[in-house]
Amino acid sequence: MKKSMKMNMVTVKTLAFATVLGVGLSSCSDAVETPPVPGAAPVVKTRLANFEGATQALEGENDVTDLRACLFVDGTLSKVYDAPTSVDGGYGIQIDNHAGTLYVVANTEGLLDLNALQERSISESEWLELSVGMKDAAPARFFSGKLQLDGLENSQTELPVTLKRGVARFDLQLRTAGVASVSSITLKNAAQSAYLFPVEGDLSPADVTRQDAVATISEPLTKDTQAVLYVYEQENDGLEIVVEAEIDGKATTLRKTLDCALERNKIYTLTVRKDVIDVRLDVSFDEWEEGSDTELTPTRR
């Protein structure tokens, strides 16, 4: 069941668009004038935001293996940019002009065939309904963002766009007086897909399937641990957290029914106490926040 809800997304990645302006050169010799050199095409220069606050991005969370973009003009996909160029030590995408809407995606290789979508002239409304499925039996750690180019001045040198993570993250806190360890964490009825771009008032695709998402824990966790589980943004359709723990030598199973949906780009903290599990969604979720910009260099594979 779709639920209307306000999407509270916080900037996690910022791309800056630099328009490279050519300088027209001319010279005169015996009344022969050399025509001016055309200005260079605008360049989409990618930048990654640093993070602020108590919660920092973990190693690997900002890795980008592929960066692509789609330009929609008059509601139709007109061009695919799938070959980032080197720009000042970083990566960028050269565009033709400031027209249309540019959608940027990262870490979607093997999940989206952009050229096939262009061949069938997919509409912008269809594009916004696309979803991303599982990759290697886990949620794809993808990013997405868009920029409206229409109406922007050609003289603008920086045109910021925001990339947001498509997943939510669970962290674990142990708050027991005695000795405690956690051997298993499961989110029951977890969504197996999510929209590529946020859809206002709707967190899960109509055809979403669900199954349990189990954290990979090789050794029992005995201290606070970040990023124990990543899941897709999703409506709350029977979401329940189940934790297998040992507290003061006694094995116990702790359960917590979630009372809200899970939103992309947010961190939810599971707090295990002596005899209960507390998902402190009211005070213990954080958002990956935007900070100052640093160069983004896609990871080579």
Which CATH number belongs to the domain containing residue 36 in this structure?
2.60.40
Does residue 272 sit within a domain?
yes
- Say yes or no to pLDDT of 2 above 90: no
Tokens representing 114 are 């952009």
Q: What is the pLDDT of residues 5-56, one digit of tens each?
A: 333 333 333 333 333 323 332 333 344 444 434 455 555 555 544 333 345 6
Query: Hey, is 117 helix, strand or coil?
Result: helix
Instruction: Measure the CA–CA gap between 232 and 262, rounded to whole angstroms.
Output: 8
DSSP 116: H
Q: Which residues pair with 71 in a beta bridge?
A: 79, 102
Domain encompassing residue 61: 13-166+288-295
pLDDT in the model for residue 88:
60
Is 130 found in the same domain as 205? no
User: What percent of the chain clears pLDDT 70, i.e. is strictly above it?
Assistant: 67
Is 197 found in the same domain as 157? no
Is 153 found in the same domain as 46? yes
Is 106 found in the same domain as 18? yes
